[in-house]
Amino acid sequence: MGFAEAAAALDISFPAYVDLERYDDEIVTALSFRQVVVLSELLALDLRKFFGGSERHRTFDELADQLRARLADRSLADLEDEIGWELGAQLESPALFADYPLDALADIAGAVDADWRDFLPANRDRRAP
């Protein structure tokens, strides 16, 4: 598969895909979780091996539940300020966490002492949680 086809599959521009190939940090900052899963399917890449993830698997529903528990002693605005990302829509519909880049998931998961890599699909199941 060429760059143009890969860019189309990820719904990004050709120059954005070239940057992805050129710069190591682009995969965690420029692509959404969902796009990273698509990329792993295109490349037959085991994301847990690639990123060194554990055998633990978490879902975005679990993440939302843990974040909601943190709201017992603070407002949503305070929690968002602390984490640095908006969370309202994701707490209502946890599947929306897949629209965030991996670096955002790292910040968000870290707020509840979780590892963002635990959300990565296992090699046998590349679908987003």
Report pLDDT for 126.
45
The phi, psi pair for 101, rounded to 5°, reads -70, 165
- 119, with CB counted inside 10 A (0-12, 13-18, 19+), is buried
Number of domains in the chain: 1
What are the pLDDT digits (tens) for 27-56? 999 999 999 999 999 989 899 999 987 788
Checking if the pLDDT of 14 tops 50, the result is yes
Give me the domain span that covers residue 77.
Answer: 1-129
Indicate the pTM of the whole model. 0.88
The phi, psi pair for 29, rounded to 5°, reads -110, -30
